[in-house]
């Protein structure tokens, strides 16, 4: 456990550095926004394209893996939604609470950290979790919010969802990388160097941006945010573990990566959506802050547990 904690500490140390820089005003909200944009559209995209271009489609797509992850995640999603509705919050707020409980920071935190801790073989499973989060649950929140506001489902909603996916650089870079891989063409030396240099900026840039963005978030609505953080850090990985052990068998290594990915804190893009739609941004903000702080311990515990199971 201590060894795992020490390995994760540098990642959270960079997050802490970004948080401190944001709190003292050295790194402003505008600077954080531009850094996030650079990481999101350029550095992380280069990293994901490079990863995907060196994988075959068969290495990435694993339907039992997808089924197990979606089954477990949907169970947690429905549980949190029912609890929210029982508290008599609106459907829109319930949808965002459920989103907090199941969508983790896989892109900015999970990919660099889990690949380092669990090995390069983790690349495919982690990207598959990321794709499920973006395509399935990223689309679901848009459909629910738009449908609730329009009072009905329409073709326009699915057009909005499709356009959003096409504009997401993480999805685009993974797809383009897999297409390149399918051609069996080697990546030219200068292009490979370009991707390596640019992609290398993704890990420190993303971690620093996470911390700097947390500096502007509040910890109001602590009780609800604490519940959502518990769901994300504990219930979500537990549900995934139960499904892969008892319901849908998955390759043990891939199952371990899936559990670790499910244990990641709430993703920052949930707050961006909450702010965009004007639905519970303070609650989402607090959930991101609390879950990220607590994950310093919980992620280490989950990874140590996974390694004990495998070993």
Helix extents (H) in 133-251: 138-150, 155-166, 169-182, 189-200, 202-214, 222-230, 236-246
Q: Identify the pLDDT of residue 195.
A: 94
Q: Identify the pLDDT of residue 268.
A: 85
pLDDT digits (tens, 9 = 90+) for 257-268: 999 999 999 998
User: Measured on CA atoms in the order 223, 228, 231, 233, is the torsion positive or negative?
Assistant: negative
Q: Give CA 109 to chain center in angstroms.
A: 7
**Quick check: helix, strand or coil at residue 266?**
strand
Instruction: Count Cα atoms within 13 angstroms, Cβ side, for 26.
Output: 9
- pLDDT at residue 311 greater than cutoff 70: no
Q: Identify the pLDDT of residue 216.
A: 76
Q: Identify the pLDDT of residue 245.
A: 92
- Residue 103 has phi, psi (to 5 degrees) of -100, 110
Query: What is the DSSP-derived secondary structure letter of residue 121?
Result: G
Alpha-carbon distances of 286 from 33, 97, 154, rounded to whole Å: 19, 11, 33
Q: Identify the pLDDT of residue 31.
A: 93
Judged by average pLDDT, the poorest of 84-88, 208-212, 213-217 is 213-217
Alpha-carbon distances of 250 from 56, 240, 246, 247, rounded to whole Å: 19, 11, 10, 9
pLDDT digits (tens, 9 = 90+) for 142-151: 888 887 766 6
User: In the predicted model, what is the mean pLDDT of residues 8-17?
Assistant: 91
Q: Identify the pLDDT of residue 3.
A: 79
Q: Which two tokens stand for residue 81?
A: 């939604």
pTM of the model: 0.87
User: In whole angstroms, what is the distance from residue 206 CA to residue 212 CA?
Assistant: 10
**C-beta neighbour count of 249 within 10 angstroms:** 12
Q: For all residues of the chain together, what is the average pLDDT?
A: 89
Q: Residues 242, 73: contact at Cβ < 8 Å?
A: no
Q: Residues 250, 230: contact at Cβ < 8 Å?
A: no
- pLDDT at residue 246 greater than cutoff 70: yes
**What is the pLDDT confidence band of residue 82, given thresholds at 50, 70 and 90?**
very high
Q: Identify the pLDDT of residue 153.
A: 58
Q: Identify the pLDDT of residue 274.
A: 87
Domains of the chain, earliest start first: 2-310 (1.20.1530.20)
User: In whole angstroms, what is the distance from residue 56 CA to residue 126 CA?
Assistant: 15
Q: Identify the pLDDT of residue 105.
A: 92
User: In whole angstroms, what is the distance from residue 142 CA to residue 139 CA?
Assistant: 5
- Contact residues for 96 (Cβ-Cβ < 8 A; gap 6+): 141, 270, 273, 274, 279, 280, 283, 284
User: In the predicted model, what is the mean pLDDT of residues 58-62?
Assistant: 81
The owner of tokens 């996974």 is: 306
Which of 147-156, 191-200, 300-309 shows the highest mean pLDDT?
Answer: 191-200
Instruction: Count Cα atoms within 13 angstroms, Cβ side, for 14.
Output: 18
Q: Identify the pLDDT of residue 108.
A: 85
**Quick check: helix, strand or coil at residue 134?**
helix
**C-beta neighbour count of 165 within 10 angstroms:** 17
- pLDDT at residue 310 greater than cutoff 60: no
Q: Residues 82, 242: contact at Cβ < 8 Å?
A: no
Q: Identify the pLDDT of residue 150.
A: 65
> What is the DSSP secondary-structure string of 61-106?
--HHHHHHHHHHHHHHHHHHHHHHHHTT--HHHHHHHHHHHH-B-I
């Amino acid at each position: 456990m201590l060894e795992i904690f020490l390995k994760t500490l540098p990642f959270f140390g960079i997050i802490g550095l970004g948080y401190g820089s944001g709190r003292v005003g050295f790194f402003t909200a505008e600077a954080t926004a531009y850094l996030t944009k650079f990481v999101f559209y350029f550095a992380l995209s280069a990293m994901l394209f490079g990863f995907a271009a060196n994988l075959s489609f068969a290495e990435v797509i694993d339907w039992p893996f997808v089924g197990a992850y979606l089954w477990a995640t949907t169970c947690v999603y429905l549980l949190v939604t029912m609890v929210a509705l029982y508290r008599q919050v609106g459907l829109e707020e319930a949808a965002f609470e459920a989103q907090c409980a199941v969508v983790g920071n896989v892109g900015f935190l999970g990919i660099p950290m889990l690949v380092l801790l669990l090995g390069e073989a983790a690349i495919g499973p982690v990207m598959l979790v990321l794709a499920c989060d973006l395509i399935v649950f990223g689309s679901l929140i848009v459909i629910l919010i738009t449908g609730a506001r329009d009072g009905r489902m329409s073709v326009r909603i699915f057009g909005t969802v499709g356009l959003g996916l096409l504009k997401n650089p993480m999805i685009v870079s993974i797809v383009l990388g897999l297409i390149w891989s399918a051609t069996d063409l080697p990546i030219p030396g200068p292009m490979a160097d370009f991707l390596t240099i640019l992609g290398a900026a993704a890990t420190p840039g993303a971690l620093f941006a996470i911390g700097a963005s947390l500096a502007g978030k509040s910890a109001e609505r602590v009780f609800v945010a604490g519940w959502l953080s518990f769901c994300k850090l504990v219930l979500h990985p537990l549900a995934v573990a139960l499904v892969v052990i008892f319901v849908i068998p998955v390759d043990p290594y891939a199952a371990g990566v899936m559990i670790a990915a499910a244990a990641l804190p709430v993703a920052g893009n949930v707050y961006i959506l909450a702010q965009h739609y004007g639905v519970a941004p303070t609650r989402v903000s607090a959930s991101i802050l609390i879950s990220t702080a607590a994950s310093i311990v919980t992620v280490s515990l989950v990874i140590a547990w996974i390694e004990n199971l495998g070993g």
